[in-house]
Each structure stands twice: as structure tokens, then as C-alpha cells.
Amino acid sequence: SQQGEEDPQALSIQEGENATMNCSYKTSINNLQWYRQNSGRGLVHLILIRSNEREKHSGRLRVTLDTSKKSSSLLITASRAADTASYFCATLPGVYGGSQGNLIFGKGTKLSVKP
Amino acid sequence: NAGVTQTPKFRVLKTGQSMTLLCAQDMNHEYMYWYRQDPGMGLRLIHYSVGEGTTAKGEVPDGYNVSRLKKQNFLLGLESAAPSQTSVYFCASSNRGGVRVNIQYFGAGTRLSVL
């Protein structure tokens, strides 16, 4: 069953704007990850945040995690046309230092960045 | 370094036919996974393997079988294809690491249509 649910399902912005996507989940987690999928391609890992972390940065990506609300957000700053893709959150059930089971993927947010 | 390679890339089957999808990884990963991706459903885990010679069921295993005879290969079989198995199939591998982070690396996918 799906654990992560992304919001919104689709997002359309202009180049240079920031894009924010949200993910909610149901059970305790070891970590939460974000993946990108370009059209017709496989998923590519972007960033991982552990359950004992609140914020993580990687280049133009910023991820936050609120375990009390069971939610995460992915912010892409100064977006580019090349950022056009679907973005998925994936959770690894468990707790910090231990995991149970496999990654559970959400249904994704489809981001369109217009030049 | 090819990463995760899936063959074939496309296939059209008639109902009742059988086929095998091949996944090969050159990263010496212990863990391998087969997912299916359907519109609006995200990725759903079919079967997975935690090592050579071992396999386990995922969320949607019915109608599929798998084998992991060699560490680098993970095969997904459809014994009698049904139209409901029309989907895009992704293979992934991971090396969970000391704290079991489970970052997954994906192949480019196999697009299967069952008529």
C-alpha cells in the first residue's frame, strides 16, 4: 500500500521560480528520500534525509522533514526547464538506526517548468 | 560503468504468452527489486531479493515469478501474460549500507503491452 502521498499532483511554473512539493506519510520512518523521473526514464535518487534530521541541502534542493506531522517538503530554487520531471518521495519504514521492510514510493508530483 | 541494465526495452505480448525480463547490475549490490509503474499508481513492488539465491514477495506478486541465480542478475517472469500486466517495469538495486539507508539505483524500464 502507498505510504507517501505527494502534493500537488501537478505543478506548472516559470523558469526562475521556486517549486515546492510536499509528501505526507503514515508510519514511523528510518529515512525519507526524493527521486526524480524524467519522461520515459528510470528514477534517479536526489537526496536523503534521516528521521533525526530536520533539513538537508544539496545544490538547489532543500528538503525538510517534520516527523511530528509525518511530512516532508522538497524545494527546488531558481528552477530550470531541465527540472521538468516527476518527483517521488520514498520512505523507509522503521526508526533512526534501524529499518523494517522496503522503500515505499508515493504517486509523484509532475513538475513542468516553462522557459 | 553501466549501473542497472534492463532488457528488453519494449515488448508486446498476446494474452497467455510468457516472457522473461532481465535485469543486470554491475555495482555488486546485494539487494535487487522489481517494480511496476502504472499511471496514477506510483511504483509498486512486485518481488525483491536480498542476496543471491533468495527472493521474496512484494506488494503485488501475483502472476509473476523471479529468480536470482547470480548476484548481478535478477529475472522477472510472466508465465501467462494478462492485459492487467500491461505496465512499465523497473528494476532497481541497492547496497543498504551500515545504517540500512537503502538508496536505490534504477534501470531505464521495460514497457510491456499485453493484448
Residue A42 and residue B107: Cβ atoms within 8 Å?
yes
Residue of chain A with shortest Cα separation from B101: A31
Residues contacting residue B79 through CB under 8 Å, at least 6 positions apart: B18, B63, B65
Residue B42 and residue A105: Cβ atoms within 8 Å?
yes
Beta-bridged to residue B9, according to DSSP, are none
Residue of chain B with shortest Cα separation from A42: B108
Q: Where are the domains of chain A?
A: 5-114
Q: Is A59 on the interface with B (CB under 8 A)?
A: no
CATH 1.10.40.30 fits B4-114, yes or no: no
**DSSP β-ladder status, A10-14 and A109-114:** parallel
Whole-number pLDDT of residue B98: 44
B21 pLDDT above the threshold of 90: yes
Tell which CATH architecture fits domain A5-114: Sandwich (2.60)
B96 pLDDT above the threshold of 90: no
What confidence tier does B42 reach under pLDDT thresholds 50, 70, 90?
confident
Give the count of beta carbons closer than 10 Å to the beta carbon of residue B20: 14
Residue A97 and residue B33: Cβ atoms within 8 Å?
no
What confidence tier does B11 reach under pLDDT thresholds 50, 70, 90?
very high
CA distance A55 to A63: 6
pLDDT digits (tens, 9 = 90+) for B46-91: 999 999 999 999 999 999 999 999 999 999 999 999 999 999 999 9
Residue of chain B with shortest Cα separation from A33: B103
Of residues A93 and B28, the one with the higher pLDDT is B28
Contact map slice: A 31-50 vs B, CB within 8 A: 31, 33, 40-45, 48, 50
User: Mean pLDDT score of chain B, rounded to an integer?
Assistant: 93
Q: Which residue has the cell 527489486?
A: B33
Give the 3-state secondary structure of residue B93: strand
DSSP letters of chain A?
A: ----EEE-SEEEEETTS-EEEEEE-SS-EEEEEEEEE-TTS-EEEEEEEETT-SEEEETTEEEEEETTTTEEEEEE-S--GGG-EEEEEEEEEEETTEE-S--EE---EEEEEE-
Per-residue model confidence as pLDDT tens for chain A (115 residues): 456 788 899 999 999 999 999 999 998 988 999 999 999 999 999 999 999 999 999 999 999 999 999 999 999 999 999 999 999 999 988 766 666 678 899 999 999 999 9
Residue B101 and residue A30: Cβ atoms within 8 Å?
yes
